[in-house]
């Protein structure tokens, strides 16, 4: 594996850097809490809203490694757009891999142009890590599915135009009774709860309700009973995106801490000259570099059609744990200033925590890794 950026990847990185400086920073100075539609639309214009998906459906046709680099850079530069793209990418991935041709033609080009925003609706009040325990039902009646149930913590909830929804189509079959559906905003019976503001997220989540929600039979993505496989396939790739955005957070916090350690004076010299601070900086840099290498390996394996789910879980585990530790140490290096809203590291600290929870908690990642390690003894 070659960890250096290709010329094309470096051009992408510079495109992101220029976009953030020219468009994002001025927008965020005056923006409120609403979804940043102007920035999202601009991502579509720049070809960044569908980087790893086929050109025949409007995508960039690039590899997942390039996608990972873009997400990391967006997060490193202090914007939440990396997380926006990561969530938007999940329904794109599912439609591209499991959707029929009419579904691909209908949704993917518009999502690539950022004309449609996507959301992924799996989690329920009693089904988080145990995704197979979902209760939302989808009953086929004639040429329509009737959905009943509730989803929680749905990022882009209420804003998204299309929702990739997991629901039970056959009771008593556990994960084999789950199917996946593409539901459009405005579908009768689709409703949204109040805004939630999870710690560290710039944009809200909402509950999503299905109250005798009527959707055409054509909204089924893949075959009935494939929904759990569909969701897990998406989450395997999604863990690479979470690792990437977490790396960007960690790198940003490290850069701030390194600069501050060089500038801050105590006892007649910069605090970076004290061995205690040097050891912290060294550990921070090593953790980021190690997590980045594993994340790039996971993307490389995916790009080359090789098994990658265990490595993706390792990447997610290492990168999000590194982000939490690095941002915590960055606050420590800043001292009292690190807790102040006038300084950036406290915000990065708050943002880092969510990475250890989404796309499967880090405890679940350890279970996945161990399961894959032990498989070799059962063959």
The residues carrying an active-site annotation are: 359
DSSP codes, 131-145: GGG---EEEEETTEE
What is the enclosing helix (H) or strand (E) of 329? Answer: helix 309-334
**191-198, Cβ contacts within 8 angstroms, sequence gap of 24 or more:** 192/157, 192/158, 193/157, 195/158, 196/153, 198/153, 198/354
3-state secondary structure of 307: coil
Pairing of strands 137-141, 144-155: antiparallel
With residues binned 3-state (H G I as helix, E B as strand, rest as coil), the percentages for the chain, rounded to 5, are: 55, 15, 25
Assigned token pair, 293: 């290498």
3-state secondary structure of 322: helix
Angle between helices 275-303 and 227-263 (to 10 degrees): 150
Instruction: Report d(CA 31, CA 308) in Å as an integer.
Output: 39
200 closest CA partner among 43, 359, 356, 326 = 356
């Amino acid at each position: 594996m070659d960890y250096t950026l290709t010329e094309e990847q470096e051009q992408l990185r510079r495109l992101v850097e220029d976009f953030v400086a020219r468009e994002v920073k001025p927008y965020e100075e005056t923006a409120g809490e609403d979804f940043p539609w102007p920035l999202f639309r601009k991502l579509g214009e720049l070809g960044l809203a569908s980087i790893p998906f086929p050109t025949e459906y409007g995508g960039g046709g690039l590899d997942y490694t390039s996608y990972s680099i873009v997400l990391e850079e967006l997060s490193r530069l202090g914007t939440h757009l990396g997380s926006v793209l990561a969530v938007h990418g999940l329904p794109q991935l599912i439609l591209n891999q499991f959707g029929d041709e009419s579904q691909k033609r209908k949704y993917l080009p518009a999502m690539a142009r950022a004309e449609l925003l996507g959301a992924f609706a799996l989690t329920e009040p009693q089904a988080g890590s145990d995704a197979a325990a979902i209760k939302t039902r989808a009953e086929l009646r004639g040429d329509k599915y009737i959905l009943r149930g509730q989803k929680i913590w749905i990022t882009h909830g209420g804003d998204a135009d299309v929702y990739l929804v997991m629901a039970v189509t056959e009771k008593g079959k556990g994960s084999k009774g789950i199917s996946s559906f593409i539901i459009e905003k405005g579908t009768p019976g689709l409703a949204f709860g109040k805004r939630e503001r999870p710690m560290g997220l710039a944009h809200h989540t909402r509950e999503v309700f299905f109250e005798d929600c009527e959707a055409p039979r054509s909204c089924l993505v893949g075959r009935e009973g494939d929904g759990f496989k569909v969701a897990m396939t998406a989450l395997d790739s999604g863990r690479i995106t979470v690792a990437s955005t977490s790396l960007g957070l960690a790198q940003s916090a490290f850069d701030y801490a390194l600069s501050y350690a060089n500038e801050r004076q105590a006892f007649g010299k910069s605090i970076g000259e004290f061995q205690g601070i040097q050891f912290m900086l060294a550990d921070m840099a090593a953790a980021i570099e190690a997590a980045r290498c594993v994340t790039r390996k996971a993307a490389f394996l995916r790009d080359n059609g090789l098994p990658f789910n265990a490595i993706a879980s390792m990447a997610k585990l290492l990168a999000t744990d590194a982000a939490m530790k690095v941002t915590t140490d960055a606050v420590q290096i800043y001292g009292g200033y690190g807790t102040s809203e006038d300084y950036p590291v406290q915000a990065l600290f708050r943002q880092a925590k969510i990475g250890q929870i989404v796309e499967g908690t880090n405890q679940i990642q350890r279970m996945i890794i161990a399961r894959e390690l032990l498989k070799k003894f059962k063959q």
